[in-house]
Structure 1
Amino acid sequence: MGQLRSADIHDPAAVESSVVEWAAEVLEEPATAEDNFLDLGGHSLLAIELNHRVNAAFGVELDLQILFEKSIGEAAADVLATINSQTKNG
Protein backbone atom coordinates (compact mmCIF):
# COMPACT_ATOMS: atom_id res chain seq x y z
CA MET A 1 0.00 0.00 0.00
CA GLY A 2 1.40 3.39 -1.01
CA GLN A 3 2.55 5.75 1.71
CA LEU A 4 1.26 9.31 1.75
CA ARG A 5 2.90 12.22 3.45
CA SER A 6 0.52 14.25 5.58
CA ALA A 7 0.79 17.15 3.12
CA ASP A 8 -0.46 14.87 0.33
CA ILE A 9 -3.86 14.32 1.91
CA HIS A 10 -5.00 17.73 0.62
CA ASP A 11 -3.60 17.17 -2.88
CA PRO A 12 -6.41 16.04 -5.21
CA ALA A 13 -4.04 14.20 -7.54
CA ALA A 14 -2.38 12.32 -4.67
CA VAL A 15 -5.70 11.32 -3.12
CA GLU A 16 -7.14 10.19 -6.44
CA SER A 17 -3.98 8.30 -7.35
CA SER A 18 -3.98 6.51 -4.00
CA VAL A 19 -7.65 5.52 -4.15
CA VAL A 20 -7.28 4.27 -7.74
CA GLU A 21 -4.13 2.33 -6.83
CA TRP A 22 -5.82 0.70 -3.84
CA ALA A 23 -8.92 -0.10 -5.90
CA ALA A 24 -6.73 -1.83 -8.48
CA GLU A 25 -4.98 -3.77 -5.71
CA VAL A 26 -8.18 -5.03 -4.08
CA LEU A 27 -9.74 -5.80 -7.46
CA GLU A 28 -6.56 -7.42 -8.73
CA GLU A 29 -7.32 -5.61 -11.99
CA PRO A 30 -5.97 -2.48 -13.63
CA ALA A 31 -8.15 0.51 -12.76
CA THR A 32 -8.40 4.16 -13.72
CA ALA A 33 -10.20 7.10 -12.15
CA GLU A 34 -12.84 6.84 -14.87
CA ASP A 35 -13.66 3.20 -14.12
CA ASN A 36 -16.65 2.02 -12.13
CA PHE A 37 -15.73 -0.26 -9.23
CA LEU A 38 -18.60 -2.67 -9.86
CA ASP A 39 -17.92 -2.86 -13.60
CA LEU A 40 -14.40 -4.06 -12.78
CA GLY A 41 -15.77 -6.92 -10.69
CA GLY A 42 -15.95 -5.14 -7.37
CA HIS A 43 -18.39 -6.22 -4.70
CA SER A 44 -19.20 -5.36 -1.11
CA LEU A 45 -16.37 -7.33 0.50
CA LEU A 46 -13.78 -5.72 -1.78
CA ALA A 47 -15.36 -2.33 -1.11
CA ILE A 48 -14.91 -2.92 2.62
CA GLU A 49 -11.22 -3.68 2.04
CA LEU A 50 -10.86 -0.51 -0.04
CA ASN A 51 -12.65 1.48 2.65
CA HIS A 52 -10.24 0.08 5.25
CA ARG A 53 -7.28 1.35 3.22
CA VAL A 54 -8.86 4.77 2.73
CA ASN A 55 -9.67 5.03 6.42
CA ALA A 56 -6.19 3.94 7.47
CA ALA A 57 -4.54 6.51 5.22
CA PHE A 58 -6.92 9.45 5.50
CA GLY A 59 -8.99 8.88 8.62
CA VAL A 60 -12.27 9.13 6.70
CA GLU A 61 -14.82 6.66 5.40
CA LEU A 62 -15.25 5.94 1.72
CA ASP A 63 -18.83 6.61 0.58
CA LEU A 64 -19.73 3.18 -0.78
CA GLN A 65 -22.83 4.45 -2.56
CA ILE A 66 -20.68 6.81 -4.62
CA LEU A 67 -18.14 4.03 -5.20
CA PHE A 68 -20.87 1.70 -6.49
CA GLU A 69 -22.82 4.24 -8.54
CA LYS A 70 -20.12 6.50 -9.95
CA SER A 71 -16.47 6.31 -10.94
CA ILE A 72 -13.54 5.52 -8.69
CA GLY A 73 -12.33 9.07 -9.33
CA GLU A 74 -15.62 10.52 -8.11
CA ALA A 75 -15.35 8.40 -4.97
CA ALA A 76 -11.82 9.77 -4.49
CA ALA A 77 -13.11 13.34 -4.94
CA ASP A 78 -15.66 12.68 -2.20
CA VAL A 79 -12.86 11.42 0.07
CA LEU A 80 -10.96 14.65 -0.55
CA ALA A 81 -14.07 16.74 0.15
CA THR A 82 -14.56 14.88 3.43
CA ILE A 83 -10.91 15.42 4.40
CA ASN A 84 -11.18 19.12 3.62
CA SER A 85 -14.47 19.42 5.51
CA GLN A 86 -12.99 17.77 8.59
CA THR A 87 -9.94 20.03 8.41
CA LYS A 88 -12.12 23.15 8.32
CA ASN A 89 -14.37 21.90 11.12
CA GLY A 90 -11.65 20.24 13.17
Structure 2
Amino acid sequence: MPSSTYDDDAARSPEITDLEHATIAWLCEELEDSEIIASDNFLDIGGHSLAFARLNKFLADSFGVNLDMKVAYDEPLSIAVAKAQPVRSHA
Protein backbone atom coordinates (compact mmCIF):
# COMPACT_ATOMS: atom_id res chain seq x y z
CA MET A 1 0.00 0.00 0.00
CA PRO A 2 1.31 3.50 -0.76
CA SER A 3 2.47 5.59 2.15
CA SER A 4 -0.37 7.76 3.34
CA THR A 5 -0.38 11.10 5.07
CA TYR A 6 -3.56 9.81 6.71
CA ASP A 7 -1.52 7.24 8.65
CA ASP A 8 0.67 10.01 10.07
CA ASP A 9 -2.33 12.16 10.98
CA ALA A 10 -4.16 9.23 12.58
CA ALA A 11 -1.34 8.62 15.03
CA ARG A 12 -1.72 12.19 16.32
CA SER A 13 -5.52 12.38 16.29
CA PRO A 14 -7.17 10.41 19.11
CA GLU A 15 -10.71 11.10 17.87
CA ILE A 16 -10.16 8.95 14.77
CA THR A 17 -11.62 5.51 15.40
CA ASP A 18 -10.14 2.18 14.35
CA LEU A 19 -13.10 1.78 12.00
CA GLU A 20 -12.50 5.14 10.35
CA HIS A 21 -8.77 4.52 10.07
CA ALA A 22 -9.31 1.07 8.53
CA THR A 23 -11.89 2.46 6.09
CA ILE A 24 -9.57 5.21 4.89
CA ALA A 25 -6.56 2.88 4.66
CA TRP A 26 -8.62 0.35 2.68
CA LEU A 27 -9.85 3.05 0.29
CA CYS A 28 -6.33 4.42 -0.18
CA GLU A 29 -5.19 0.99 -1.28
CA GLU A 30 -8.28 0.06 -3.33
CA LEU A 31 -8.43 3.39 -5.18
CA GLU A 32 -4.63 3.78 -5.34
CA ASP A 33 -4.80 7.25 -3.80
CA SER A 34 -2.73 7.92 -0.68
CA GLU A 35 -4.27 11.38 -0.23
CA ILE A 36 -7.76 10.25 0.85
CA ILE A 37 -8.90 11.79 4.14
CA ALA A 38 -11.97 11.44 6.34
CA SER A 39 -13.55 14.67 5.08
CA ASP A 40 -13.57 13.36 1.49
CA ASN A 41 -16.76 12.11 -0.14
CA PHE A 42 -16.77 8.52 -1.40
CA LEU A 43 -17.92 9.43 -4.91
CA ASP A 44 -15.61 12.44 -5.19
CA ILE A 45 -12.54 10.23 -4.57
CA GLY A 46 -13.54 7.88 -7.39
CA GLY A 47 -15.63 5.43 -5.41
CA HIS A 48 -18.21 3.41 -7.32
CA SER A 49 -20.73 0.68 -6.59
CA LEU A 50 -18.29 -2.22 -6.90
CA ALA A 51 -15.77 -0.52 -4.60
CA PHE A 52 -18.60 0.18 -2.16
CA ALA A 53 -19.61 -3.50 -2.13
CA ARG A 54 -16.00 -4.55 -1.57
CA LEU A 55 -15.61 -1.98 1.21
CA ASN A 56 -18.74 -3.22 2.95
CA LYS A 57 -17.49 -6.82 2.67
CA PHE A 58 -14.21 -5.77 4.28
CA LEU A 59 -16.00 -3.84 7.04
CA ALA A 60 -18.43 -6.69 7.71
CA ASP A 61 -15.63 -9.24 7.94
CA SER A 62 -13.34 -7.00 10.02
CA PHE A 63 -15.74 -5.02 12.23
CA GLY A 64 -19.20 -6.56 11.83
CA VAL A 65 -20.63 -3.35 10.36
CA ASN A 66 -21.79 -1.96 7.01
CA LEU A 67 -22.05 1.54 5.65
CA ASP A 68 -25.30 2.88 4.27
CA MET A 69 -24.89 3.56 0.55
CA LYS A 70 -26.90 6.80 0.53
CA VAL A 71 -24.95 8.22 3.46
CA ALA A 72 -21.62 7.16 1.95
CA TYR A 73 -22.54 8.70 -1.40
CA ASP A 74 -23.92 11.97 0.06
CA GLU A 75 -21.76 12.69 3.11
CA PRO A 76 -18.06 12.81 4.02
CA LEU A 77 -16.46 9.48 4.84
CA SER A 78 -16.24 10.39 8.53
CA ILE A 79 -20.04 10.75 8.71
CA ALA A 80 -20.64 7.53 6.77
CA VAL A 81 -18.35 5.65 9.17
CA ALA A 82 -19.95 7.26 12.23
CA LYS A 83 -23.34 6.03 10.99
CA ALA A 84 -22.17 2.46 10.27
CA GLN A 85 -24.68 -0.18 11.34
CA PRO A 86 -24.14 -3.71 12.64
CA VAL A 87 -24.39 -6.41 9.99
CA ARG A 88 -27.74 -8.15 10.15
CA SER A 89 -27.68 -11.89 10.70
CA HIS A 90 -29.20 -14.05 7.97
CA ALA A 91 -30.42 -16.60 10.52
| TM-score, length-scaled by structure 1 | 0.69
Compare relative contact order (CA 8 Å, sep 6+) and give the higher one, 1 or 2. 1
What's the secondary structure of 1:29's corresponding residue? coil
Does 1:19 find its partner at 2:26? no
8 A Cα contact 1:26 1:49, kept in partner: no
Worse-superposed segment, 59-68 or 36-45: 59-68
Find out whether 1:41 has 2:46 as its counterpart: yes
Dislocated runs of 4+, deviation >6 Å: none
Matched, 1:54 2:50: no
1:32 maps to a residue whose letter is I
| Alpha-carbon distance in structure 1 between the residues aligned to 2:50 and 2:75 | 18
Once residues 69 and 38 of structure 2 are traced to their aligned partners in structure 1, the CA distance between those partners, rounded to angstroms, is 15
- Give the AA of the match of 1:35: D
Give ranges in structure 1 of 5+ residues lacking alignment: 1-10
Unaligned runs of 5+ in 2: 1-14
CA distance in 2, matches of 1:33, 1:22: 12
Please give the TM-score of this superposition, normalised by the length of structure 2. Answer: 0.69
Equivalences, count: 73
Shift of 1:17: 0.8
Question: Distance between the aligned counterparts of 1:63 and 1:54, measured in 2?
Answer: 12
CA distance in 1, matches of 2:59, 2:72: 12
More helix by share: 1
- For 2:74, which of 54, 64, 69 is the aligned residue? 69
